[in-house]
Amino acid sequence: MLIQALVFAAGLVALVLGASALVRGASKLALSFGISPLVVGLTIVAFGTSAPEMAVSAGAVLDGQTDIAVGNVVGSNIFNVLFILGVSALVAPLLVNLQLIRQEVPIMIGAALLLLVLGIDGSISVFDGALLMALMVGYTVFLILQSRRESASNTTEFDAELKPAAPGAWDARWPAQVALIAAGLALLVVGSDWLVSASVVFAKALGVSDVVIGLTIVAAGTSMPEAATSLAAAFKGERDIAVGNVVGSNTFNILGCLGLSGLISGGAGLTLAPSILAFDIWVMLAALLACLPVFLSGREIARWEGGVLLAYYVAYVAYLIMASQHHDALPAFSSAMLSFVAPLTIVTLVVSLMRNKPYSSAR
């Protein structure tokens, strides 16, 4: 078991380093060809943080572990909203860009609803995967076209953060940039293989399903780039970046990760476990829908709202663990969550939204 834990940790490190190398090499290469920093930031950098999820999901499908592939994506989206935004808001109240509320969050929710519709028959077919990938490409093109109308301040922000390699630097020439991309891809492939193989061993040793491992350990592990990015942004005061990173990653996870996984799944398609269809995908959708009232209440995520999000993630993981072990306390725990905690949270959010309505509209 110790060896598998080391393999899992090594796989996680390889995924993080691979994503970093891929983003650095691709960004420098794109900038050297004259592509604007804004477009690079909206595409390569944004997608790079979701590269571990894509690598793990695709690797799991090729290994025949489809439950881990789907659980990884659904679990990562739940982790991103409830844990990452929760912890980031506890560090500092997070500002929410108005465009995020009007455009990106509805697109994210729409992608989740589409996944629910496509998966209602119990699988994501090759056709479904192609549709999701086509929407991912269309969404990327839309962002690039929209970036041409971005304000000067936003463009300047990307110019400051993304610069071509300095003359004479080791990564200033395209061979070094291509080598970074190749090394990043190799680390992602190796890291995903180690992570998936160790996760399967964990699931068998702990007596839980691949779905639970994918929803928890694997999902949290592959979301480390998003966690690092959002927490660093929160500590540096770039609080809108912390939110935008999570929203963009969630959309990419559904359209890109599950799209690619569906495409390579073969004739049988990507099977969705009954437990995911009956429970986890609804938790994901509820977490994404909760973003709207939370974001609209003063156009920020307050510390108390971050605390509520984090508490819900702890409760969700506790439920998964108790359900996998058929714990005697599960019925009482479920009843308390459904009859008391959830309604109280909804009422609190509605009251907060109504009290901040004039403030929000004034902005």
In this predicted structure, the answer to whether residue 174 has a pLDDT above a threshold of 50 is: yes
Mean pLDDT lowest for which of 74-88, 216-230, 256-270, 290-304? 290-304
Which whole number is the average pLDDT over 26-33?
75
CATH no. for residue 219?
A: 1.20.1420.30
DSSP per-residue string spanning 49-95 = TTHHHHHHHHHHHHTT-HHHHHHHHHHHHHIIIIIIHHHHHHHSPEE
Which whole number is the average pLDDT over 315-334?
80
Which whole number is the average pLDDT over 311-319?
89
In this predicted structure, the answer to whether residue 159 has a pLDDT above a threshold of 60 is: no
In this predicted structure, the answer to whether residue 70 has a pLDDT above a threshold of 80 is: yes
Structural domains of the chain, count: 1
Which residue, chain included where needed, has tokens 């991912």? 136
Which whole number is the average pLDDT over 82-100?
84
In this predicted structure, the answer to whether residue 38 has a pLDDT above a threshold of 60 is: no
Cα separations in angstroms, 55 against 63, 98, 113, 280: 12, 32, 24, 21
pTM of structure? 0.81
- pLDDT value at position 134? 96
- pLDDT value at position 350? 66
- pLDDT value at position 135? 96
Mean pLDDT of the chain: 80
In this predicted structure, the answer to whether residue 302 has a pLDDT above a threshold of 90 is: no
| Short-list 316, 262, 265, CA closest to 80 | 316
Q: How many CB atoms lie within 10 A of CB 362?
A: 6
- pLDDT value at position 161? 54
- pLDDT value at position 358? 43
Question: Residue 253: which domain range?
Answer: 2-362
**Helices vs strands, H then E, count in the chain:** 22, 4
Tens of pLDDT along 224-259? 777 877 787 777 776 666 787 788 889 989 999 999
Which whole number is the average pLDDT over 74-94?
90
The residues facing 94 across adjacent strands are 301
Tens of pLDDT along 99-127? 777 888 899 999 999 999 999 999 999 99
Contact 118, 264 (CB under 8 A): no
Query: Which band of pLDDT confidence, cut at 50, 70 and 90, is reported for residue 345?
Result: low
